[in-house]
């Protein structure tokens, strides 16, 4: 067959190992890490799914090599720990049996030990070790590692590398980026040593070189060793790309693949993990420049999820391998779909950070668009129902589409009723905001899945009790969504007011001087978009804080964007809308007039309980999901829709 993406789909040899394609699964930490650092069965299933999905390599993250100086709650590999070697072996085998090469990331957090602990107080109680005596930005003291301790750490890398090979891992990634220990030694900002491990570039690279030599001695010739580095630290005082090139050249003789990332911990989360506010592939230039100066293969990553873009990266010689993390949560089968010329079936990552926020909050995983993530052991195959039933789904938003598709895959006869002329529900409104295009695209992808599975879609069809009952359904899934909350504020029904859900339909009537009324997630993101268009934007919020409904990873990046060009008025309650703007009361009851010829109303959503109440007796089995049950998130709607269909 003729491959649509021939460069991306082509094999590559690294060391003595041949990888089936150029799409690798980047390191992502597991969830059920045992108290003594073993890989739990949920995590094994988590990594296996990416192997099954067609990735060339799957990297298990992170294995901390020296617990004595790095108390992070992550994986350990130690024969003194019961089941440590066994759990690693089962994991490597689970990845390898699907044709992917299993890789293990060896790491040391240095002064940021304990980062992944949900209870941060324990992190602060640890002894933190780094290149030099210092105090972290959060006030935690850091002690300099002695030469004797460094020798122990180097030896530990070798010991763990040997165990990883014994367990069946066929590549090792040495983590030298993102502000972890080896990066801390590279960085002139962190490394103030005056001995042979500090000062000159050669000295600052010495620890990494010693580590790589120890790993090579343990695994032998031909075994692929990959080194992960930040091409630039991207902050004042850290090293820049020019020095990143020289670091790569120092490392090159000891590795088979240089993996170029970006940024450093606590000083660039949004650089290392590009948000929806950044261009896809914004960090590729770092790898492209380093590749010009080294002879070993180079890997790149950073918000990549488009096969056409990744194909161009490989074809043009910017990199030899592309890594994805979040994209392979959204769609673990992305590589297989690329290989099979089915790129139109890919479910794209939204870059919403639900996955990383969930891990920070509960030490589990969840993905907005993929209900399997973190729950792979519950089963990834959709089994046929023992009896085919008639199913009606009311509402063509993300939850309804997910329910309809899943029910159809189970062999049910599915009719989806949507009152509008277009599917997508609340996601339709995202098409006018460029940095949220993936959310609009999600509705289109889910709709295609429904059509391909044989769902009968009826647009412009209001699901009244009579026409639902006329279908005589065995099961009814109500996914009627929510409606905009429009309080009885005088003037809010004026010609100069646009409901945020309708912005995509009324974009042309929004002028250059805009007031956004409501500082929740929707209002903030709309304000950012309007400011990016060059409009003067004033954002009003009755509460003291903006976007409390945004997750803990997305919110800080959102607020940074707000700070650029949006005037914020928190603690202000709107009392009247006029043609000139919004009249408010501040916390002291003082009248404040906020000017703006156009007003965007983004005051939240209310559940469409009226639809639920009308239809609740229209079938033997009835379930309401998503916003019509309780206004929440796309994540909840998709998850509930999937499981509602499994229950039929």
- In the prediction, which pLDDT does 137 show? 83
- 368 has a pLDDT exceeding 70: yes
Count of positions (residues) in the chain: 648
Fold entry, domain 6-377: TIM Barrel (3.20.20)
In 3-state terms, what secondary structure has residue 540?
strand
Give the CATH superfamily of 497-603.
Answer: FAD/NAD(P)-binding domain (3.50.50.60)
Architecture of the domain delimited by 384-483+607-646: 3-Layer(aba) Sandwich (3.40)
Q: Is 396 left (phi over 0), alpha (psi -120 to 50) or beta?
A: alpha
Element spanning 135, H or E: strand 134-135
Helix (H, G, I), strand (E, B) or coil at 58: strand
Q: Which two tokens stand for residue 73?
A: 């709650």
Q: Where in the chain is the domain with CATH 3.20.20.70?
A: 6-377
Q: How far apart are CA 327 and CA 305, in angstroms?
A: 6
Which residues lie closer than 8 Å to 87 by C-beta, 6 or more apart? 34, 38, 39, 40, 44
The first and second tokens of residue 441, run together, are 């695209």
What is the C-alpha to C-alpha distance for residues 270 and 429, in angstroms, rounded to an integer? Answer: 25
Is residue 118 scored above 70 in pLDDT? Answer: no
For residue 140, name the pLDDT band (cuts at 50, 70, 90): confident
Cα-trace Rg, the chain: 26
The string of DSSP codes covering 402-418 is HHHHHHHHTT-EEEEE-
Task: Judge whether 306 and 283 are in contact, CB under 8 Å.
Answer: no
Q: What is the pLDDT at residue 121?
A: 72
Q: What are the start and end residues of each CATH 3.40.50.720 domain in the chain?
A: 384-483+607-646
Cβ contact 550:558 at 8 Å: yes
What whole-number distance in Å separates Cα of residue 283 and Cα of residue 260?
9
The contacts of residue 427 (CB under 8 Å, 6+ apart) are: 397, 398, 439, 440, 442, 443, 634
Place of tokens 């609340």: 426
641, 477 Cβ separation under 8 angstroms: yes
The pLDDT, as a whole number, for residue 161 is 98
CA distance 20 to 95: 13
Contacts of 317 by beta carbon, 8 Å cutoff, 6+ apart: 288, 291
| Token duo for residue 383 | 């089994």
Per DSSP, the residues of 301-325 read -SS---HHHHHHHHHTTS-SEEEES
Reported as half-sphere exposure (CB side, CA atoms, 13 A), residue 180 has a value of 29
Unique residue bearing structure tokens 């030490």: 363
Please provide the DSSP assignment of 489-539 as one string: -TTTTSTTEEEGGGHHHHGGG--SEEEEE--SHHHHHHHHHHHHTT-EEEE
* pTM of the predicted model as reported, rounded to 2 decimal places: 0.95
In sequence order, the 6+-apart residues with CB closer than 8 A to the CB of 601 are: 484, 486, 492, 497, 498, 499, 500, 517, 518
336, 272, 281: which is closest to 303 by C-alpha?
Answer: 281
What does pLDDT average to over the chain? 96
Q: How far is CA 318 from the centre of its chain?
A: 24
Q: Which tens digits make up the pLDDT trace of 519-565?
A: 999 999 999 999 999 999 999 999 999 999 999 999 999 999 999 99
For range 83-99, the mean pLDDT: 98
Three-state DSSP class for residue 176: strand
Yes or no: say if 204 and 251 are a contact pair by the CB < 8 Å rule: no
Please indicate whether residue 119 or residue 431 has the higher confidence score (pLDDT): 431
CA distance 394 to 392: 6
Beginning with the edge strand found earlier in the chain, give each strand of the sheet holding 566-570 in spatial order: 497-499, 598-601, 513-517, 536-541, 566-570
Q: Sign of torsion, CA 531 483 444 419?
A: negative
Query: What average pLDDT does range 229-256 have in this prediction?
Result: 97
- pLDDT tens digit sequence for 264-323: 876 788 999 999 999 999 999 999 999 999 999 999 999 999 999 999 999 999 999 999
248-276: buried (b, 16+ CB within 10 Å) or exposed (e) per residue? bbbbbebbbbbbbbbbbbebbbbbbbbbb
Q: Is the confidence at residue 138, as pLDDT, over 90?
A: no
| Distance, first Cα to last Cα, the chain | 39
Instruction: Note the pLDDT tens digit of each residue in 6-30.
Output: 999 999 999 999 999 999 999 998 8
In this predicted structure, the answer to whether residue 251 has a pLDDT above a threshold of 70 is: yes
Q: Quick one: tokens of 209?
A: 């070189």
**Per-residue pLDDT band at 623 (split at 50, 70, 90):** very high
What are the DSSP E strand ranges found in 262-307?
A: 298-300
All CATH 3.50.50.60 domain ranges in the chain, comma separated: 497-603
d(CA 440, CA 434) in angstroms, rounded, equals 10
């Amino acid at each position: 067959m003729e491959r649509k993406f021939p460069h991306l789909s082509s094999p590559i040899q690294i060391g003595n190992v041949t990888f089936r394609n150029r799409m690798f699964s980047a390191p992502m930490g597991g969830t059920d890490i045992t108290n003594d650092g073993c890989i739990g069965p949920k995590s094994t299933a988590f990594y296996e799914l990416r192997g099954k999905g067609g990735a060339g390599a799957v990297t298990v993250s992170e294995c901390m090599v020296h617990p004595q100086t790095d108390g992070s709650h992550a994986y350990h590999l130690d024969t003194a720990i019961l089941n440590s070697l066994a759990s690693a072996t089962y994991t490597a085998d689970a990845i390898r049996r699907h044709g992917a090469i299993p890789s293990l990331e060896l790491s040391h957090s240095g002064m940021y030990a304990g980062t992944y602990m949900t209870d941060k107080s324990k992190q602060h109680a640890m002894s933190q070790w780094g290149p030099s005596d210092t105090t972290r930005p959060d006030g935690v003291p850091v002690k300099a590692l002695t030469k004797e301790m460094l020798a122990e750490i180097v030896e530990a890398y070798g010991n763990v590398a040997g165990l990883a090979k014994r367990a069946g891992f066929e590549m090792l990634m040495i983590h030298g980026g993102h502000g972890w220990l080896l990066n801390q030694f590279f960085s002139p900002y962190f490394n103030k040593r005056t001995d042979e491990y500090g000062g000159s570039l050669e000295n600052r690279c010495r620890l990494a070189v010693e580590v790589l030599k120890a790993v090579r001695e343990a695994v032998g010739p031909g075994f692929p060793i990959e080194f992960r580095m930040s091409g630039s630290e991207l902050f004042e005082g850290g090293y820049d790309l020019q020095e990143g090139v020289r670091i790569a050249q120092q490392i090159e003789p000891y590795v088979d693949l240089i993996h170029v990332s970006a940024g450093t911990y606590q000083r660039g989360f949004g650089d290392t993990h590009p948000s929806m506010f950044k261009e896809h592939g914004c960090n590729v230039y770092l790898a492209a420049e380093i590749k010009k100066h080294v002879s070993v293969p180079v890997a790149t990553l950073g918000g990549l999820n488009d096969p056409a873009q990744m194909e161009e990266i490989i074809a043009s010689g910017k990199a030899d391998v592309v890594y994805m993390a979040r994209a392979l949560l959204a769609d673990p089968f992305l590589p297989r779909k690329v290989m099979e010329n089915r790129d139109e079936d890919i479910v794209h990552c939204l870059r919403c950070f639900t996955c990383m926020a969930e891990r920070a909050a509960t030490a589990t995983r969840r993905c907005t668009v993929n209900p399997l993530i973190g729950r792979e052991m519950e089963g990834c195959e959709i089994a046929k129902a023992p009896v085919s039933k008639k199913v009606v789904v009311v509402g063509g938003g993300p939850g309804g589409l997910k329910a309809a598709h899943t029910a159809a895959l189970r062999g049910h006869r599915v009719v989806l009723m949507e009152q509008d002329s277009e599917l997508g529900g609340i996601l339709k409104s995202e098409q006018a905001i460029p940095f949220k295009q993936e959310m609009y695209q999600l509705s289109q992808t889910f709709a295609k899945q429904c059509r391909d599975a044989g769902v009968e879609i009826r647009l412009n069809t209001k699901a009244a009790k009579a026409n639902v009952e006329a279908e005589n359904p065995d099961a009814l899934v109500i996914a009627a969504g929510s409606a905009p909350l429009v309080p009885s504020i005088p003037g809010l029904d004026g010609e100069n007011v646009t409901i945020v859900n309708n912005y995509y339909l009324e974009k042309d009537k929004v002028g250059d001087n805009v007031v956004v009324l409501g500082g929740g997630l929707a209002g903030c993101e709309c304000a950012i978009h309007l400011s990016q268009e060059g409009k003067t934007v004033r954002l009003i919020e009755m509460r003291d804080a903006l976007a409390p409904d945004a997750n803990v990873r997305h919110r800080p990046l959102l607020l940074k964007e707000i700070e650029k060009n949006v005037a914020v008025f928190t603690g202000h309650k709107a009392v009247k809308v006029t043609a000139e703007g919004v009249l408010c009361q501040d916390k002291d009851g003082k009248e404040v007039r906020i000017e703006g010829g156009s007003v965007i109303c983004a005051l939240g959503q209310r559940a469409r309980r009226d639809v639920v109440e009308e239809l609740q007796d229209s079938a033997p089995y009835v379930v309401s999901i998503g916003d019509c049950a309780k206004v929440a998130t796309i994540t909840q709607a998709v998850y509930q829709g999937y499981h509602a269909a499994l229950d039929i």
